[in-house]
Amino acid sequence: MRRLNLYALTFRLPIIIWQTLFFIGPLIFVVAMSFFVVRNFQMVETFEFDSWKRMLSRDFVWDAYVYTVLMAGSAAILASLIAFPAAYCLAFQTSARTRQIAILLLIIPFFTSYLVRTFSWYTILAEAGVLNGAVGLVGLGPYTLLNTYVGTLIGYLTLVMPLVLILQTVTMANIDDRLIQAARNLGCSPARTIWTVILPAGKTGFVIAALFAFILSFGDFVAPFYLGGSNPPTLPILIIDTTKAGQQWPRAAVVAVIMMVTLFVIAFSAIMYAYRKRASR
Amino acid sequence: MTEPLVSLDKVEKRFDDFVAVREANLEIGAGEFIAIMGPSGCGKTTTLRMLAGLDAPTSGEIRIAGKLMNEVAAHERDTPMVWQSLALFPFLNARENVEFGLKMRGIDSDEREKRAMNWLDRMEIAEFAERNVETLSGGQRQRVALARALVTEPKLLLLDEPLSALDAHLVIRMQGVLTKLQKELGITFVYVTHSQSEAFAMADRVVIMSKGEIAQVGTPREVYRAPRTRFVAEFVGRNNILPGSVTSSDADQVTVETGLGTFSVPGVATIGTKASIVVAGDMMQVGRGENSVDATVISEEFVGSIVTAFLEAADGTELKVQVQERALADLDLQPGSKVTLHWATQDGHLLLEET
Amino acid sequence: MTLFLRTWLCLVAGFIFLPIFVSMLFSFNEARFPTLPLTGFTTGWYEAIFSDPDFWRSAKNSLIVSTTTAVIATFLGFCTAYTDYRYSFRGKSLFLAIILLPPTIPLIIIALAMLAWFSRVGMSGQVVSIIAAHTVLTAPFAMAIIRLRLSQIDESLEAAAWNLGASEWRAMREVILPFCKPAILSSLFLTAAVSFDEFTVSWFVSGLNKTLPVHVLEIVQGTIDPQVNAIGTLVFGVSITLVVISQALIFFRLQKAST
């Protein structure tokens, strides 16, 4: 091993300092802040459980918790199911060149304003919006989609679909073709091949894709706020309400810590599951 | 040998628990072509990297031209290296690659260009000077790498398996280029390779390494005819090794009792010592003579005009005999046939077991 | 079967690209509330935003934030990628974790944490706060792009430079940086694009120095205003340009490497 010298440190220290100041520091502070209290509109740095007691004893917090987990979970499952046939098509029924271009195209919405896309959905889904305008031309509707869980889900899917589709496509494109051919050779129908070969072989990729979908939806406030009408509110909306309106930062911190712990547990289990060797059967 | 150009004194290199080079002692004279060879992982590349200053020895002393080099950084030495991968800079053209070492020494661009072009010309690739190195052929890239290493006119050139990526016919040609260059420049080449044919074709002396230790140093002929350890005997050439122990001893000759009989061999050893008789494959002959053994032919291998027959003796010892292909017709060396092999006593080599 | 899959793929692609398309379409539509049928072509919404000083102020902030972020994040990403490529040391996975972790934490949590932290250390509501936050968010992307490039380097290249008389610093300048140049450029564009679009953290920490996406967020919070479509289309244009340049640089380089 080389001795540490100025050169090596030049490439290490800035990151350690920068990330400590602007990433580790804030994260630890938010945990600490959950034990602060607000008195006379001033935050006092102490170690008390006031905010925890208050937040954990309220039904609306638990309702929001359950609702957020369920919605993010639904979004992850729905996105995975909807993306699968499309990813299958891209992975197995197009040339490598087409696939490359498709992935390039799919990256584009990922880096364009999610906010504007959500606003666009708002105008599409509204009572007097584009969709109802379109179906109205043939004498249907209007349908109420905005300010319902359907709106929230559509928002979540807008956020996560490109990523899930890319991850699933890459996963399936990397499955050894010989495995699939062998299965087909042994008389597996295409549907059975999916079940017996593709899903097990690509398990890690599918689980990671779904996990990312969950993480992104779980932390998103735009879809449930603008498309779901905060009805009911999700955890991120609780954070915004308590910080922006109520100035109750410690309570917001409690919600943030609850979210982090939940995410950690779910991410950890998902990764353990994704990388677990299949048990002997 | 007068003042050696390079000397290694009890040099040792450890990576954590792994000993890459152990107690290496070696002196290399000015103007010598030295080949360091051995199987992969034997420490030959580490030795070369220590000469270049890319790895620091854990203990021991390395001197170049009398100067202790242990603490001298790689960039402060003039020990250019030709890399196995060539390591040409892909974002520079051929001329800029050659100029690199001069640029680092602060030589102005006119002078740099003159000297680089001079070397490209010498390597017969001046016409490709402005070409991107990635568009050159293997042989041309090889020449750029050589020019880049030699442009600073070093006293010592290090070569790390530089020919391993080339086609067989190019290897022979580049061997010619290298030996000619080394003689003309009169500088020291230290050439690391796992290929016995490359080492024996070019080097004045070869260093054979095994498991981090130097097993033997000598001219190709010495190493080939008089291997000092069993490893060397097995590593170089098609040697027959007959293990046994010494039963009687004369002034300059001993007899060794082996599994195939008792034979005389030149050498000195005390009675009872464990020892082997080594007979090179090309010294073995078909027929009955001074020292004979019976064996069954297992298989044959043709390389050019030389045929190597692999045989098995009654006790399972593997034997090899090399004959000219045109002599093959007179001999019955078909797989399965039983033949007798013999060798002259003075062609045998006594190999004492290491203790 | 194939037909079904193709149709499905088109539907999914339609779902992904529909909002982008609709937003562009209605940025040129006359009616205040976007619906079908279309009412008539106008560039009025663009004129409205161009004459809005708030738009220009936030656009300027966005530009400052995204360019500065790109430079710092790319520097941090390069340092991490190079350290990962060159060295192995105890605690290296922890070292990598502190730069790679941010994308796995919801933005809303980072936003709250940054807001609280910055006001604690007296840095709240400034443009530099947004920049600091954005560098943390985008540095992992820079790291990934540059690390990918470094994985293509011949490992002897740097040692070859030392061997020819270059000090470590000189080898960095003469060999590593030129080799990584396409990835560094690509990283600059990509991190700028991500920063240019980010609104959650910006919204929390920006105070009065809002960026363009925060400006959009504030409009959206008020009323239905097709200005958002116009801004969205403009921002889309900028982001797309940056992303396309970034992708083209990687793509071009990979193509070149594979021939």
Write the DSSP string, A150-211: HHHHHHHHHHHHHHHHHHHHHHHHTS-HHHHHHHHHTT--HHHHIIIIIHHHTHHHHHHHHH
Verdict on whether the full-model pTM lies above 0.80: yes
pLDDT at position A187: 80
pLDDT at position B236: 81
Q: Do C68 and C14 share a structural domain? A: no
pLDDT at position A190: 78
The verdict on a CB contact (< 8 Å) between C179 and B83 is: no
The verdict on a CB contact (< 8 Å) between C76 and A240 is: no
Cα nearest neighbour of B76 on chain C: C165
Query: In percent, how much of chain B has pLDDT > 70?
Result: 99
Q: Do C149 and C61 share a structural domain? A: yes
Contact B54, C124 (CB under 8 A): no
Residues of C in contact with A220 (CB under 8 A): 106, 108
Highest mean pLDDT (candidates A3-12, A207-216, B160-169) = A207-216
Which DSSP symbol is given to B157?
E
pLDDT digits 0-9 by tens, B201-213? 899 999 999 999 9
Q: Do C170 and C212 share a structural domain? A: yes
CA-based nearest distance C239→chain B, Å: 30
For residue C163, give the nearest of B52, B90, B91 by CB distance: B52
CB-count exposure of residue B277 (10 Å: 0-12, 13-18, 19+): buried
The identity of residue B343, as a single letter, is W
pLDDT at position A111: 64
Neighbouring chains of B at 3+ CB pairs under 8 Å are C
Q: Does B74 have pLDDT greater than 60?
A: yes
Q: Do C14 and C62 share a structural domain? A: no
Q: Do C175 and C154 share a structural domain? A: yes
Cα nearest neighbour of A218 on chain C: C106
Q: Does A260 have pLDDT greater than 70?
A: yes
Query: In percent, how much of chain C has pLDDT > 70?
Result: 94
At a CB cut-off of 8 Å and minimum separation 6, what does C15 contact? Answer: A157, A158, A161
Out of A259-268, B295-304, C122-131, least confident range: B295-304
For residue C154, give the nearest of B76, B80, B85 by CB distance: B85
Which structural domain range is residue C151 located in?
53-258
Q: How confident is the model at residue A280 (pLDDT cuts 50, 70, 90)?
A: very low
How far is the C-alpha of C228 from the C-alpha of C236, rounded, in Å?
12
Pairing of strands B318-324, B253-258: unpaired
Q: Does C258 have pLDDT greater than 50?
A: no
Across all residues in chain A, what is the average pLDDT? 86
Q: Do C26 and C91 share a structural domain? A: no
Residues of C in contact with A221 (CB under 8 A): 108, 200
The verdict on a CB contact (< 8 Å) between C20 and A117 is: yes
pLDDT at position C248: 75
Q: Do C59 and C35 share a structural domain? A: no
Q: How confident is the model at residue C250 (pLDDT cuts 50, 70, 90)?
A: low
Q: Do C108 and C66 share a structural domain? A: yes
How far is the C-alpha of B70 from the C-alpha of B77, rounded, in Å?
11
pLDDT at position A170: 87
Residues of C in contact with A86 (CB under 8 A): 5, 8-9, 11-13
Residue A22 CA neighbour count, 13 Å, CB half:
26
pLDDT at position C254: 54
Average of per-residue pLDDT across C60-72:
94
At a CB cut-off of 8 Å and minimum separation 6, what does B271 contact? Answer: B246, B247, B248, B249
The verdict on a CB contact (< 8 Å) between C114 and A26 is: yes
Domain assignment of residue C48, yes or no: no
Average of per-residue pLDDT across B90-117:
94
Q: Do C81 and C38 share a structural domain? A: no
The verdict on a CB contact (< 8 Å) between C224 and A26 is: no
Average of per-residue pLDDT across C124-138:
91
Neighbouring chains of A at 3+ CB pairs under 8 Å are C
Average of per-residue pLDDT across C43-62:
88
Q: How confident is the model at residue C20 (pLDDT cuts 50, 70, 90)?
A: confident
Residue with tokens 């019955």: B332
Tell me which of C28, C89, C112 to substitute to probe the interface with A (most A C-beta atoms closer than 10 Å).
Answer: C112
Q: Does A123 have pLDDT greater than 50?
A: yes
Q: Do C90 and C9 share a structural domain? A: no
The verdict on a CB contact (< 8 Å) between C83 and A112 is: no
Q: How confident is the model at residue A244 (pLDDT cuts 50, 70, 90)?
A: confident
Out of B26-35, B130-139, C245-254, least confident range: C245-254
Cα nearest neighbour of C155 on chain B: B87
CA-based nearest distance C98→chain B, Å: 28
Q: Do C248 and C128 share a structural domain? A: yes
Residues of A in contact with C136 (CB under 8 A): 18-19, 22-23
pLDDT at position C109: 94
For residue C35, give the nearest of A15, A104, A130 by CB distance: A130
* Residue C156: CATH number of its domain: 1.10.3720.10
pLDDT digits 0-9 by tens, A169-198? 988 888 887 888 888 788 888 778 888 888
pLDDT at position C251: 65
The verdict on a CB contact (< 8 Å) between A249 and C33 is: no
Cβ pairs bridging B and C (under 8 Å): 65
Domains of chain C: total: 2
Domain assignment of residue C47, yes or no: no
pLDDT at position A252: 92
Average of per-residue pLDDT across B68-74:
90
pLDDT at position C84: 94
Residues of C in contact with A115 (CB under 8 A): 199, 213, 216-217, 220, 232
pLDDT at position A91: 87
At a CB cut-off of 8 Å and minimum separation 6, what does B86 contact? Answer: B141, B142, B144, B145, B162, B165
Domain assignment of residue C148, yes or no: yes
pLDDT digits 0-9 by tens, B35-53? 999 988 889 999 999 999 9
Q: Does C112 have pLDDT greater than 90?
A: yes
Cα nearest neighbour of C215 on chain A: A115
Neighbouring chains of C at 3+ CB pairs under 8 Å are A, B
pLDDT at position A3: 56
Contact C66, A113 (CB under 8 A): no
Out of A218-232, C10-24, C218-232, least confident range: C218-232
- All structural domains of chain A: 59-274 (1.10.3720.10)
Q: Does B292 have pLDDT greater than 90?
A: no
Q: Does A4 have pLDDT greater than 70?
A: no
Q: Do C144 and C16 share a structural domain? A: no
Q: Does B327 have pLDDT greater than 80?
A: no
The verdict on a CB contact (< 8 Å) between B101 and C165 is: yes
Out of B171-175, B299-303, C3-7, C77-81, least confident range: B299-303
DSSP secondary structure, C89-109, as one string: -TTHHHHHHHHHSGGGS-HHH
Residues of B in contact with C175 (CB under 8 A): 89
Q: How confident is the model at residue B2 (pLDDT cuts 50, 70, 90)?
A: low
pLDDT at position C33: 74
Pairing of strands B156-160, B188-193: parallel
Q: Does A266 have pLDDT greater than 50?
A: yes
Q: Nearest-CA neighbor of B336 among B294, B299, B284, B307?
A: B299
